[in-house]
């Protein structure tokens, strides 16, 4: 998203049941990694099903700035000719990662053990997010780093000339921290080890293995221990990106809360490290059938059939949080229509996403007549059979907050408005036409 794009006020209102097939976009996490690993490989990586959302387009641009040849072949199909591990060139300009935490953090990792200098910036949302969680381990590899006070962007990194491998225990459950350390470890001799107490999404491990790196994962009493052997030659690979379960969550939620709905969402990743929302919805009594379970591009996928359901509130255990970290905003919308409270525990990380997602959801839900309680690391939503709606939610440059409130308005008594739907293009550029095709009444105001 351009930094000064005008706001796009939008609203949604109750209509008939939702019907049809929702072809959701490619997985955002895998799309970033496909471009970055393609850029660090020797040969041509052909990517199909790439998410062409702004976050990923910013990563594609960054990979070109570091010297890879990156071309869009046709819709969702991209070609990357990489420069090999350690082959990044010094970029001429500043690397602007826009709204994307994944983009900036993984790219900082990928360049931090190559002796070049790069400066990273982002939009107003990304500039508020913590970067010390990445720059701390990267400096232990030997990188020189200057960040704004409090470890925020802009950040300038001069990569290590003689990188030393690292053994690093992640202080919070974060696939971005794990992945930044592993990507930095690629150009360090010896073994880089990451230990994570809670399992986070494992796309980096799966894809590094697919590109030819030696990487092993063990489950120990300390947690998951991931060991990467440095200085591999990564070999370019075809990557077929599965559809994003975090994007699928929005039409799925709409079908669950709009009476009479039945939709199909084909080819969605069911990677167990991303599956927490779906586990929770089944516990709540959701009518979701997983058909045609199969493997595509190294990831388990299934076709989802989702019908309107009578739901009950549940307690989501803290150890499940990492496997559904981006789905709490939309879960809190679904929970508003369930019988009884839904308690979400261990969710403090939501406070440092594109916005403080606990605060943004609590304020917007309350304004629309839903009772919410919050602590620093939990949120409880009290469900009801009817939800009034009728208010404007503030989205704080956060795509998931914007989409969540547009879904809310499809089932409330009165329409729900958002101040800005612009950020939706970061992860789900076709969200509005896709929801309209299913029968959802979404409007530009
Ligand atoms: O590694 C990734 O692709 C991501 C990891 C998660 O962030 P954290 O690592 O900060 O939890 C998630 O919120 C983000 O949308 C994508
Ligand atoms: C948190 C998210 O993304 P990122 O950290 O990449 O900005 C998200 O997509 O919900």
What is the tens place of the pLDDT at every residue in 198-242?
999 999 999 999 999 999 999 999 999 999 999 999 999 999 999
Share of the chain above pLDDT 70, in %: 99
Using CA atoms, how far apart are residues 54 and 426, in angstroms rounded to an integer? 4
Residue 431 has pLDDT above 80, yes or no: yes
Distance between CA 385 and CA 368 in Å, rounded? 14
Rounded average pLDDT over 186-205: 97
325 lines ligand 1 (CB under 6 A): yes
Binding site residue list: 28-29, 33, 101, 129, 174, 176, 326, 353, 357, 400
For strands 19-21 and 117-121, give the pairing. unpaired
How far is it, in rounded angstroms, from Cα 138 to Cα 188?
11
**Gap from CA of 259 to ligand 1 centroid (Å):** 33
Residue tagged 């990831």 (tokens)? 299
Domains, the chain: 10-26+242-444 (3.65.10.10), 28-240 (3.65.10.10)
Residue 240: Cβ within 10 Å count:
18
- Kindly give the distance from the C-alpha atom of residue 388 to the centroid of ligand 1, in angstroms, as a whole number: 33
176 lines ligand 1 (CB under 6 A): yes
DSSP 404-419: HHHHHTTTSSB-EEES
- Report the share of the chain in percent with pLDDT over 90: 97
pTM above 0.95, yes or no: yes
Best CA proximity match to 215, nearest among 198, 200, 203: 203
Assess contact for 292 and 302: CB atoms under 8 A: yes
How many Å apart are CA 184 and CA 190, to the nearest integer? Answer: 12
CA of 45 to the centre of ligand 1 (A): 23
pLDDT given at position 90: 98
Active site residues: 326
Q: How far apart are CA 209 and CA 287, in angstroms?
A: 36
Buried b (16+ CB within 10 A) or exposed e, 276-309: bbbebbeebebbbeeeeeeeebbbbbbbbbbebb
Give the CA distances from residue 9 to residues 124, 126, 241, 402, in Å, rounded to whole numbers and listed in that order: 19, 21, 32, 10
pLDDT in tens, 287-345: 999 999 999 878 899 999 999 999 999 999 999 999 999 999 999 999 999 999 999 99
Is residue 186 within 8 A of residue 213, CB to CB? The reply is yes
pLDDT tens-digit series, residues 270-284: 999 999 999 999 999
| DSSP code at position 423 | G
Pocket flag, ligand 1, residue 29 (CB < 6 Å)? yes
Instruction: Look at residue 97 and tell me whether its pLDDT is greater than 90.
Output: yes
Give the SS3 label for residue 112: coil
* Tokens (6 digits) for 170: 């992640």
- pLDDT computed for residue 5 by the predictor: 80
Determine the pLDDT at residue 27: 98
Report the nearest-CA residue for atom 5 of ligand 2: 101
**Distance of CA 156 from the midpoint of ligand 1 (Å):** 22
Hey, is 296 helix, strand or coil? strand
Of the candidates 203, 285, 238, the one whose C-alpha atom is nearest the C-alpha of residue 80 is 238
CA neighbor of 76 nearest in space, from 36, 22, 35: 35
19-21: strand order across its sheet = 19-21, 262-269, 299-307, 287-296
Task: Read off φ and ψ for residue 377, nearest 5 degrees.
Answer: -130, 25
Q: Is 100 in the pocket of ligand 2 (CB under 6 A)?
A: yes
Instruction: Taking each helix axis as running N to C, give the angle between helix 28-39 and helix 101-111, from 0 to 180 degrees, rounded to the nearest 10.
Output: 20
331, 286 in Cβ contact below 8 A?
A: no
Give the C-alpha separation, 80 to 237, whole Å: 10
Query: In 3D, which of 188, 187, 181 has the Cα closest to residue 165?
Result: 188
According to DSSP, residue 97 is labeled -
- Residue 236's DSSP bridge partners are none
Task: Label residue 1 by pLDDT band (50, 70, 90).
Answer: very low
Per-residue model confidence (pLDDT) at position 2 = 47
pLDDT tens readout for residues 346-362: 999 999 999 999 999 99
Specify the residue for token string 């789905």.
327
Question: Has residue 3 got a pLDDT over 60?
Answer: no
Q: Residue 222 burial by CB count (10 A; 0-12/13-18/19+): exposed, middle or buried?
A: exposed
* Protein residue closest via CA to atom 3 of ligand 1: 29
CA–CA–CA angle 440, 7, 347 (5° rounding): 70
Q: What pLDDT band is residue 4 in, cutting at 50, 70 and 90?
A: low
Supply 333's token pair: 């919308």
CB 353 less than 6 A from any atom of ligand 2: yes
CB-CB contact of 106 with 179 (8 Å) = yes
Among 90, 86, 3, 77, CA closest to 35: 77
Task: Write the pLDDT tens digit of every residue in 121-173.
Answer: 999 999 999 999 999 999 999 999 999 988 999 999 999 999 999 999 999 99
């Amino acid at each position: 998203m351009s930094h000064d794009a005008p706001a796009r006020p939008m609203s949604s209102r109750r209509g008939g049941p939702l019907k049809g097939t929702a072809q959701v976009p490619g997985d955002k996490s895998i799309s970033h990694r496909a471009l970055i690993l393609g850029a660090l490989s020797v040969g041509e990586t052909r990517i199909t099903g790439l998410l062409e959302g702004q976050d990923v387009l910013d990563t594609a641009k960054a990979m070109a700035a570091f010297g890879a040849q990156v071309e869009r072949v046709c819709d969702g199909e991209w070609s990357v000719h990489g420069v090999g591990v350690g082959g990044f060139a010094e970029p001429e300009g500043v690397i602007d990662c826009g709204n994307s935490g994944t983009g900036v953090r993984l790219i900082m990792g990928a360049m931090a053990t190559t002796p070049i200098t790069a400066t990273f910036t982002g939009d107003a949302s990304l500039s508020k997010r913590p970067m010390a969680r990445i720059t701390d381990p990267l400096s232990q590899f030997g990188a020189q780093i200057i960040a704004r006070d409090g470890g925020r962007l802009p950040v300038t990194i001069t990569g290590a000339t003689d990188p030393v491998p690292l053994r690093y225990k992640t202080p919070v459950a974060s696939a971005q921290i794990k992945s930044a350390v592993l990507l930095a470890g690629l150009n360090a001799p010896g073994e880089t080890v990451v230990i994570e107490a809670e399992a986070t999404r494992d796309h980096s491990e799966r894809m590094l293995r697919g590109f030819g790196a030696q990487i092993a994962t063990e489950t120990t009493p300390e947690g998951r221990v991931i060991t990467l052997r440095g200085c591999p030659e990564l070999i370019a690979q075809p990557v077929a990106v599965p559809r994003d379960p975090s994007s699928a969550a929005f039409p799925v939620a709409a079908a669950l809360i709009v009476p009479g709905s039945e939709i199909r969402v084909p080819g969605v990743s069911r990677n167990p490290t991303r599956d927490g929302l779906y586990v929770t919805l089944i516990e709540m009594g959701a009518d979701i059938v997983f058909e045609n379970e199969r493997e595509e591009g190294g990831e388990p996928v299934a076709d989802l059939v989702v019908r309107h359901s009578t739901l009950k509130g549940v307690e989501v255990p803290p150890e499940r949080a990492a496997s559904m970290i981006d789905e709490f905003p939309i879960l809190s919308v679904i929970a508003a229509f369930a019988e009884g409270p839904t308690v979400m525990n261990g969710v403090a990380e939501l406070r440092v996403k594109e916005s403080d997602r606990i605060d943004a959801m609590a304020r917007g839900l309350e304004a629309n007549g839903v009772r919410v309680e919050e602590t620093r690391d939990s949120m409880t939503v009290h469900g009801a059979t009817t939800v009034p709606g009728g208010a404007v939610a503030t989205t704080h440059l956060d795509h998931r907050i914007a989409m969540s409130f547009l879904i809310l308005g499809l089932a409330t008594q009165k329409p729900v408005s958002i101040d800005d739907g612009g950020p939706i293009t970061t992860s789900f550029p076709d969200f509005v036409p896709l929801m309209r095709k299913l029968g959802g009444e979404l409007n530009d105001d």
